[in-house]
Amino acid sequence: MSENTEAVKCSSDMFCGNRSIPMPLIIVLAAFSLVGLYGVGNILINGHASSLGVTRSVPWGLLISTYVFFVVSSTGLCLISSMGHVFGIEKYEVIGKRAIVLAILTLLCGFGVIGMEVGHPLRMAIYNVISPNLTSAIWWMGTLYSVYMVCIIIEFYFLMKHNHKGAFYAGLAGFIAGISAHSNLGAVFGFLEARPFWHGPYLPIYFILSALISGTALIIIIMNIAYGGPSKLSEKAKNAVLSLSKLFGLLLGIIIFFDIWKIITSLYGTPPEKYETVMTLIAGPLSVNFWLFEVLIGMLIPFGLILFSKGNSVKKALMAACFAVVGIFFMRYDLVVAGQLVPMRNAEDFAGGLASYAPSFSEISIVAGAILLCCALFLAAERYLNLSEE
């Protein structure tokens, strides 16, 4: 059979995947992801109080921040991929299937993580339908993300069937649902008047911006994985990655600008509670997380790599994306935890006037298991499904 005939046959075969992805790697990642079962079992057997590090003063911890990390990544992947088959930018069509399948997987892993935090996920799903609270941002969050998940699953189906018209409409619906769900997630925090660090219109906008950064970084990474490294990218894939790297640099510059003004406005005039919260980041218990992981690894190093390469190096873009994803994970953690460390009452009862939080081993095991499982599932999809657009 000729090479062209094989290519045509593979393009029409849904299960003609990338066999260069090593099966042992998938098995190892899946096996290590089972560490998460320790945390799941501990929560189901012993309950939240004895399994998680959260307290009455800090009720949202690592599981919430990881949920935010996953759904932010999912939304970003959907938004960036829509530039190809929804908005007709041809160079981005090559990323479509891979971005959407990872968007589905990150969303499902996010649901799994928050399910362990909620305690009764099945009860939550039932009452979400039979007893909706239309004034609750959290109800809207669950509902909108459910709609978003259905849209991107349908979009992926149409992409696999090469139904471009169906993919367009499903992708457009997913784009709208993703924007709505994600800005609403920011509103879950922004509506809380009792937490001045979160309160206001800043977070819904910030969440959309950070979603675009997460999505761009992850697409750069998965494209390099799919092709076996920067030097093996096809011409189409290379053009897409280099174009995304320039967009990535621009978005990083914007988020650095956002963060600088967020800090300045939180320090200027020492606004009550907001000032104390920012001080936990820049000179308090979260300062290492903030300066090392969030600022240096998450923003400055990636921005510098893109800036000095002028966005013309796939290798530098890949390095920048890897740094950024690590930094973004800590960015989510800092945002969630820092907003709760200033007590709402009886500050004198806490050492240094601040509440404390440290993730338990159960929380860490669930998060590690979810991340490893997501990686294993994506590699399995890459190996067994035809995710190539070429």
Stretch 200-229: mean pLDDT, rounded?
Answer: 92
pLDDT band at 193 (very low <50, low <70, confident <90, very high): confident
pLDDT band at 322 (very low <50, low <70, confident <90, very high): very high
Torsion of CA 173, 336, 343, 195, to 10 degrees: -30
What percentage of the chain exceeds 70 in pLDDT? 95
- Compare 190 and 11 and report the one with higher pLDDT: 190
pLDDT of residue 10: 59
Question: Is the model's pLDDT at 164 over the cut of 90?
Answer: no
Chain-centre distance for alpha carbon 6:
36
pLDDT of residue 2: 43
pLDDT of residue 121: 73
pLDDT of residue 6: 43
Stretch 177-202: mean pLDDT, rounded?
Answer: 90
CA–CA distance, 321 with 330 (Å, rounded to integer): 15
Q: Please check whether residue 273 is in contact with residue 196, taking contact to mean a CB–CB distance below 8 angstroms.
A: yes
Other beta carbons within 10 angstroms of residue 21's beta carbon come to 18
pLDDT of residue 384: 92
Cα–Cα–Cα angle for 179, 278, 178, rounded to 5 degrees: 5
Average pLDDT, the chain: 90
pLDDT band at 3 (very low <50, low <70, confident <90, very high): very low
In sequence order, which residues have a C-beta less than 8 Å from that of residue 307 and are 6 or more positions away? 249
| Most distant CA pair in the chain, distance | 78
Candidate from 1-5, 55-59, 253-257 with smallest mean pLDDT: 1-5
pLDDT of residue 280: 93
Q: Which domains does the chain have, with CATH numbers?
A: 19-384 (1.20.1630.10)
Q: What is the pTM of this model?
A: 0.93
Q: Please check whether residue 334 is in contact with residue 290, taking contact to mean a CB–CB distance below 8 angstroms.
A: yes
Model pLDDT for residues 285-308, shown as the tens digit of each residue:
999 999 999 999 999 999 999 999
Candidate from 17-21, 102-106, 263-267, 305-309 with smallest mean pLDDT: 17-21
pLDDT band at 56 (very low <50, low <70, confident <90, very high): confident
pLDDT band at 387 (very low <50, low <70, confident <90, very high): confident
CA atoms within 13 A on the CB side of 147: 18
